[in-house]
Structure formats: C-alpha cells, structure tokens
Chain A
Amino acid sequence: MKRALVTLSVCRYGGRIPDPVRLRWMRERFIDYERGEMRFTNVSELGGIRAATRRASQSDPRPVAPRRRWLNRTISAALAVALAGSLAAACSSGGDVSGSGGSGSGKGLPSGTYTFGTEALTSGPAALAGKTILDGMNFAVSEINGQKFLGDGANIKLDTFDSGGDPAKAISALNQWDQENVTGILFGILTTVAGASKPVLVSKKIPSIVAGSLLPGLPQPPYIYRPQILLNASYSQLVARYIKVKHPTTAVTVVTSDNDGMVSDGKSWTSALEQGGVKILKSINVSTSDTSFSGPAASIASSSPDVVVLSTLGNNSALLIKGLRDAGYNGPILTNYGVATESLIKIAGSALHDVYYSAAYSQFSTYPVAAKFTAAYKAAKGVMPDAFVAFGYNTVWYAATALKASDGTRQGLVEALGSLKSFESVYGALKIVDGQAELADPSGAQFLTFDSSNSPTAWTPPSS
C-alpha cells in the first residue's frame, strides 16, 4: 500500500517513476504516507531538490559512477547503431548489373505452370537496378506466356522474393523454394548474394540461372549458368579505340572496391590502359554506399589526367561524373553501362558530355532479337528499355528456352541447360562455354556516348 501511494504521489508530481535511490530518498523526505501526497506545497522549497537527489544517490550502496553511466550509455548506443547498421545493411550492400528472345520447338514439356524461384532486389541501395531487372523478367514472362512459347497449357511463373541484398535471407528463400520443389531458380543480382547462394544451389542440385551478378567464376555446370556476357573484353576494345582517336597518355581509375564484379572489371580496364601505353597516375577506391564524391573529384582534377576510367556502380558513376565536372575536370570519362539509366542520367545531366561506355545491349542495336525486344518494350511501356531491363528479359528467355527443351522436371532442366550450347539473345548470338555466355562475335559489344540532350547515342570510333 505504501509503495502504491508513493508511486501515485510521485507520478502526480513528476510524471515519471523515479529510480530506487531517488524513490527511497523522496520517501524519506517528502512523502506523507497517511495522505499519499507530498508534504509540502511551496515549490520554492524544492530549490535544492536536484542536489539533494544527487546526495541521496551518492549514499546508495551500489552507486553508478557518472563515468560508468556514460560508458554504459555509449556502449548501448554504439551497439544500437551497429544493430541498426546491420539492419540497414540487410537492405543494402553493393550491387552490380550490367538481355533476349528465343525461339524453338520443344518436345515433351507437359502442360502446367512451371515456377521459378526468383530472387528480386527491390529494396536497398541497389534496388534501382533490381527493380528494373525484375521489370525485364516480368516482361519476358508476359511474352512467353502470351506467345504460348512453351506450348498449349504450359506457362512459366516467377515466385519472387526480395532478399534486400541479404545473403542469409536469400539462402532462406532458396531452401524454401527447394522444399516447394520449384522447377528452377533465377538468382544473384548482387555479388555478395550470388557468391553465398552458389554452394547451396550446387549442393541441392537445383538448376539455376544468374540474373545479374558479374562475380567471376560464378557459373558451375551442370547447375549454374550465366546468360549475361562479361564485358571485360569490350573494355579493352573501348580503350583501344579511344586511344587510337584521342591519344591519352595519363589516366586515373576509380573502382567500387566493395564489389567483386567492379574490382574484376577494374583490372580489365587497368590492363587495357597499360597495354595501350597509358600511365595510371592514381587509382581511387570508393564504396557502394558512398554519395559524397567532392574529395575524390578534387583529387582527380588536381592530377589533370587525360582520361578518367570509372569501374563503378551506376549510382557512384553518376555522382562522381557530376562531382568531377564541378571540381573542374572537363576531360573524357570511360565507364560501364551502369550510368545509362533514366534516373541516373537525370542526376548527372550535362556532366555526361564526353562520357563513353560499352554495353552488351543498347536501344540502338540492330540485331533482330534486340530490335524486336526494344520495339515491343517501347510499345508496351512507353519508354525505352535499358541494359538492366535487358538483363532480366534475357535471363527469363534463357530459362524458358531450356525449359521448353526439357521434360519439365528439375533433372530434365539440368540436362536441357547442359545441352543448350547457343542462344539467340538481345546481345546477339551467344555461345555457352562452361556455363558462361560469350558473344559468338567478340566484336559485338556496343560503344555509346551521350548526345547534347544527354540521351545515349551510338559512338562509332574508327575500328582499330
């Protein structure tokens, strides 16, 4: 009863329940237990209440030193920030993404709906690319089912799951899809997720197709295939052609160092530059989550290189290109297709002048499959597809082409994927070597720049 009265009294006056030390002190000094109220009414009497409270605290047999309290609070706060960081990281991490049409007549594919577990990436910093890839996938599904590509009564369906770039979530989804006995899996937009998923998929013997990651060594027949082409060779071609036209002698390279695909690409760029006799003045590392590039930009501008090469993710590239122009560097910039998405082009704006990049797919491609895809997508969506849409589109068409040649079982799909040695894609004719797609015509990569309205346009330098 006494405790209840004390609590009521204190709450009435303070709105908060005091800690045990303060409670005891207040009980001894101010509480009228008979009335359940404070003993005084004149607030001025409380002038020294805080000091008195402190004195009471000091008499507590287990005092908490101010320093200890500060340390406890700092440690709690640091742990909380680390926890929040982990949660945020679960929705983030680095991303890399750099497309297809198929034809054929399958035999023996029973009617039914064939489900592919599909790792989407619609949250986190790489969500822009992931969302666009998923858009391309869904467009391919609508075409495949609309055309009855798999035959009467046979449809393809994507069971999507947003991993947020978290490998643990992605692996959990893989296990779930395995138990649900999906036909196959489309996975790996981020290198971190792709690398973690690979051993699980191989151990479970699930036929899987890489949806975007450029992680080196990712394909592993007979289970994992990547129908996207690696552009390392095209970087060499772009550099060689650029050197032939502009004769640069010095360069600065920038690499998104927490993304294996970009690091691998960076080595290709560096190798191509060095082979062309270009001196690398400095190499700068940035990370996926970086948004402030004034420092690196000033550093690059002060070096006055003849050319800057960016092996960076799209968002990094757009902000860095703008930062470079603001810092006074107005020279040429070579990079990958990551910057060539609508929203990033808006961010970089006129800074894209004198920027050159290579891509496996572009809206200017005259290759029949690519031209057909571009026209169909434009007609359906009202906008031109970008390289990421092509990524998703190509992945699903590749899966459907193999599925059509199978008996509809997992093992059948494994065998069909193993037998698929060539594929007509939005990139051009592909050959599949050890699970990895390569252009049948190695010179098939496209080189682009930006016109005066900042729209991508074909760059046709003289051939080396």
Chain B
Amino acid sequence: MNLLVQQLINGVIIGAVYAVFAIGFALAFAVQGVLNLAYGAYATVGALVALWVHTSLGLDFYVALPLAIVATAAMSMAVDQVAFQPFRQSENGLLGPIITSIGVLLVSREVTRIATQAEPKQYGPSFFSQAVYKVASFRIPAAGLFAVAVAVVTVIGLHVLIRKTPFGASMRAVGADAVSASVAGLSPRRTTIYTAGIGGALAAVAGVTAGLTLSNVSFTLGDSLLLSGFAAVVLGGFGDIRGAFFGAMTLGLLDILGAQYLSTAFRDVITYGAVLVILIIRPRGLFGEVRYGAER
C-alpha cells in the first residue's frame, strides 16, 4: 500500500511536469493554429537559459526563471512571426507549418547541442533546493512539490485568463475563427503573437520544472516532453486546458503505475496502449474538442 501511494505521488509529479508543457502546447495549437513540433525545443531553451543565467551570471532561481521565461517567450513570438505567420496568411493548411516547425526543431536542437557540448548538466542545490521531504513514510522531493504547484497555478491562471478577461475572449474568438474575429474588430495577428509569447513562457516553465524534477538538463530535454505533451493533449482533448491538464496527469500515472504493476519492459506500450484505448472509446479525448470560442 505504501508503495502504491508513493508511486501515485511520483506519477502526479511527472504528470505535473507534463501538464505545464501540454497546456502551453494545447494553447498554441488552439489559438495559433499550428502544430508546433519545435515546442519541445522551446522548453530546452528555457531550461538552458535559466541554467546559463545561474551558472554564468550567478543569479538565483527567482531571477533566472523570469529571465528564461522572457527569453523563451521572445523566441516563441519571433518564430511564430517568421516561420508560421506566412502560412497563416496564405491558409496553406497544417502541413506547411508542421514541416517548418520541424526545421525550427532541428536548428534549435543543433544550437543547444553545441551550446551544451552535448553534456548533460544539472541545476544544483545553489539553484533550487534538492531536499526530499518525508511525510509519514512517503518521500516527496522539493522539486516535485514545485512542479505540482506550478501546474495547478498554471491551469487555474490560464483558465481565468481565457474565460474571464478581454484578452482571453479575443483568444477564444481567434481560436474559433480568425476571419470572423477580425471582422468583429479584433486583431488576430496581435492575439496570435501574444499567445505565442504565453506559449513560450509556459514552455520555459515546463523546461525548468523538468530540469529540476529530473535532475538533468540536456539538449534533448524537450524531446520526451514533446511526445508526452502531445499525447496528453490528444488524451485530454484539443482546445481545452483542463483536458491537457488531466490528460497529462493520466499519462504520468499510467507511466509510473504501468511500470510498477505490469511490466517495466513494456512500459511505453502500456502507457500509449492505454491512451489508444481511451481514444477509441472517446475519440475526441477525455474533454472532447472544445474550441476556445465555441458557445456551450
């Protein structure tokens, strides 16, 4: 029983890391209209910027994280305007931006590989506490608590932003139909740029959180996040951040519990097999495809 609870805790922590990433990924997909496969690279860049700020400039976590967020948000907005906006203007469908995003992914991957000299790194205790708290007989790392807190704050904060603010309304409108939104006086381009910035910021937070939780910052950090984040979004349903959140949590728990109680050899088969079964039963994911602008 103790092991089950401990593994549930581990699953929630991993799910929380996936969740922040998946929420940003889903948001970008819904509003920007781009399946951005370079999104994992944003997380890597965010994690590495925070590491560089800490190790090279000597600044602590509370400065490094905001700087990483700003840098990654700026990167995300620049990439959106340079690589994706032309496709949106010409309405060339999904494929063009996907191929472009793969190009961005490969370029980012090579740049980060050179920057890190392909060496895995870690933040270290001077950046963030490496304490492991013991509650009853359960062990909870400080980084894990941080990951869960960030995920909860992110999902609530974004939900409020999207549902309760004028900017959120414009995000929903642009996500639903950019043409109609523009005719109604909104600026889809401005909304898209800001959303790209928010997406980049979330990627940075996800990257730093993953680096803290996994004790590993490398140029491949974003790769596994991308696959897991995408699976979480599909599982939860495109277009709803709650879906992405619960999809990620489900994925994290499946990952840990499948390996513990079924087979470590077929861990990914179990995890993604379960995702497949859920999608067969609910093809639109746990929360269905709820477009941000759809009236319900």
Which one of A50, A81, A292 lies within 8 Å of B227 (CB-CB)?
Answer: A81
- In the complex, what residue of chain B is closest to A77 when comparing beta carbons? B35
Closest CB pairs A-B (n = 9) = A127-B118, A14-B179, A295-B256, A294-B10, A343-B119, A80-B98, A84-B37, A285-B265, A302-B3
Which chain B positions have C-beta within 8 A of A302?
2-3, 6
Instruction: Decide if B106 touches A81 in the complex (CB within 8 Å).
Output: no
The interface stretch among B88-96, B151-159, B196-204 is: B88-96
Closest Cβ of chain A to B272, distance in Å, is: 11
B113, B122, B256, B259 pick with most chain A CB within 10 angstroms: B122
Which one of B90, B118, B176 lies within 8 Å of A128 (CB-CB)?
Answer: B118
Instruction: Decide if A123 touches B113 in the complex (CB within 8 Å).
Output: yes
Instruction: Decide if B265 touches A15 in the complex (CB within 8 Å).
Output: no
Instruction: Decide if B13 touches A294 in the complex (CB within 8 Å).
Output: yes
Which chain A positions have C-beta within 8 A of B293?
50
Instruction: Decide if A16 touches B226 in the complex (CB within 8 Å).
Output: no
**B57-101: which have CB < 8 Å to A?**
88-91, 94-95, 98
Chain B interface main SS type: helix
Which chain B positions have C-beta within 8 A of A327?
139
With A14-B178, A49-B184: A299-B91 Cβ-Cβ less than 8 Å: no
- In the complex, what residue of chain A is closest to B234 when comparing beta carbons? A74
Closest Cβ of chain A to B84, distance in Å, is: 13
Which chain A positions have C-beta within 8 A of B3?
298-299, 302
Indicate with 1 or 0, residue by residue over A66-88, a CB within 8 angstroms of chain B CB atoms: 11001101101110110111011
Instruction: Decide if B260 touches A299 in the complex (CB within 8 Å).
Output: yes
Q: Is A291 an interface position by the 8 A CB rule?
A: yes
Bound form: Cα–Cα A12–B62 in Å = 45
Q: Is A131 an interface position by the 8 A CB rule?
A: yes
Instruction: Decide if A344 touches B283 in the complex (CB within 8 Å).
Output: no
Task: Given contacts A14-B179, A76-B35, A87-B102, list 8 more A-B pairs with CB under 8 A.
Answer: A85-B227, A125-B218, A298-B10, A302-B2, A315-B120, A315-B216, A318-B120, A326-B132
Which chain A positions have C-beta within 8 A of B2?
302
Instruction: Decide if A46 touches B184 in the complex (CB within 8 Å).
Output: yes
Instruction: Decide if A77 touches B139 in the complex (CB within 8 Å).
Output: no
Instruction: Decide if B7 touches A122 in the complex (CB within 8 Å).
Output: no
Q: Is A448 an interface position by the 8 A CB rule?
A: no
Which chain A positions have C-beta within 8 A of B90?
17
Which chain A positions have C-beta within 8 A of B240?
none
- In the complex, what residue of chain A is closest to B18 when comparing beta carbons? A292
- In the complex, what residue of chain B is closest to A122 when comparing beta carbons? B118
Bound form: Cα–Cα A50–B178 in Å = 10
Which one of B185, B214, B218, B268 lies within 8 Å of A292 (CB-CB)?
Answer: B214
Which one of A124, A298, A319, A328 lies within 8 Å of B214 (CB-CB)?
Answer: A319
Which chain B positions have C-beta within 8 A of A347?
120-122, 215-216
Instruction: Decide if B177 touches A53 in the complex (CB within 8 Å).
Output: yes
* Chain A, interface residues (CB within 8 Å), range: 35 or more
Q: Is A422 an interface position by the 8 A CB rule?
A: no
Instruction: Decide if A15 touches B118 in the complex (CB within 8 Å).
Output: no
B91, B218, B234 pick with most chain A CB within 10 angstroms: B218
- In the complex, what residue of chain A is closest to B293 when comparing beta carbons? A50
Instruction: Decide if A328 touches B139 in the complex (CB within 8 Å).
Output: yes
Which chain A positions have C-beta within 8 A of B119?
128, 343
Closest Cβ of chain B to A49, distance in Å, is: 5
Instruction: Decide if B179 touches A43 in the complex (CB within 8 Å).
Output: no
Q: Is A378 an interface position by the 8 A CB rule?
A: no
Instruction: Decide if A14 touches B117 in the complex (CB within 8 Å).
Output: no
Indicate with 1 or 0, residue by residue over B191-227, a CB within 8 angstroms of chain A CB atoms: 0000000000000000000000111101011011011
With A16-B88, A315-B120: A50-B180 Cβ-Cβ less than 8 Å: yes
Instruction: Decide if B91 touches A19 in the complex (CB within 8 Å).
Output: yes
- In the complex, what residue of chain B is closest to A10 when comparing beta carbons? B179
- In the complex, what residue of chain B is closest to A91 when comparing beta carbons? B109
Bound form: Cα–Cα A125–B227 in Å = 16
Instruction: Decide if B141 touches A84 in the complex (CB within 8 Å).
Output: no
Instruction: Decide if A13 touches B178 in the complex (CB within 8 Å).
Output: no
Q: Is A346 an interface position by the 8 A CB rule?
A: yes
5 A-B residue pairs with CB within 8 Å? A14-B182, A76-B94, A77-B35, A285-B267, A302-B3
Which chain A positions have C-beta within 8 A of B283?
67, 70-71
Q: Is A18 an interface position by the 8 A CB rule?
A: yes
- In the complex, what residue of chain B is closest to A43 when comparing beta carbons? B185
Which chain A positions have C-beta within 8 A of B95?
76
